Homo-oligomer: A and B are copies of this chain.
């Protein structure tokens, strides 16, 4: 089967049982992280941080806060997607990194700064979290797409206790875990055939 996006999407499924002995290579992990890095985001602010967990003891502890779902401990790598709420700092960092010490470039970015500070920099924590979480899900999706191309399995999980995980990881207050992505290799195939809502449910034309 050709390695197309649609074939890869048909191949993948939310893998519940991972083979704990099969590990993702450093080269493949690098490609997955590159795809996350290249994910587009609103204003390019990438308001997230991803913690890549391989420490078995830590995975076992997180499993306890994930309703004992085995994929958290049996996966090769556990990606913890965290959203950022420090959007003002995020905007300033963006400008510093893009201008890279060039004063003219920095001046040219003042329009961007004004716009982004007005649109998202002023958001208070609950709204900032909502906005950042949406961008984070773009990165989550691209991680799953990158995995599928490499025939690596993944299982996106909202079912965990974020506050407990944040405390366990000693996250700074501007980071909040929002979704987990265990990745690795399936121990068995899907238990059910893939279901999707039909096209006439999902789309209309105008």
Contacts and interface: CB of A to CB of B under 8 A. Distances in A.
Given A36-B202, A137-B137, 20 more contacts: A6-B38, A9-B35, A9-B142, A12-B40, A14-B40, A36-B203, A37-B196, A37-B199, A49-B201, A49-B202, A50-B203, A52-B203, A55-B206, A93-B201, A94-B195, A97-B195, A98-B195, A134-B137, A141-B145, A169-B206
Interface residues of A, number: 62
B44 A195 contact: yes
Contacts of A4: 149
A31 interface: yes
Given A46-B196, A97-B197, A133-B134, A144 B206 contact: no
A156 B52 contact: no
How many copies of this protein are present in the complex? 2
Contacts of A122: none
A14 B201 CA distance: 28
A5 B54 CA distance: 25
A27 to B, nearest CB: 12
A26 to B, nearest CB: 11
A195 B5 CA distance: 25
Contacts of A203: 33, 36, 49-52
Contacts of A204: 49-52
Contacts of A46: 196-197, 202
A117 interface: no
Interface in A46-82: 46, 48-55, 58
B156 A40 contact: yes
Interface in A134-180: 134-135, 137-138, 140-142, 144-146, 149, 156, 158-159, 169
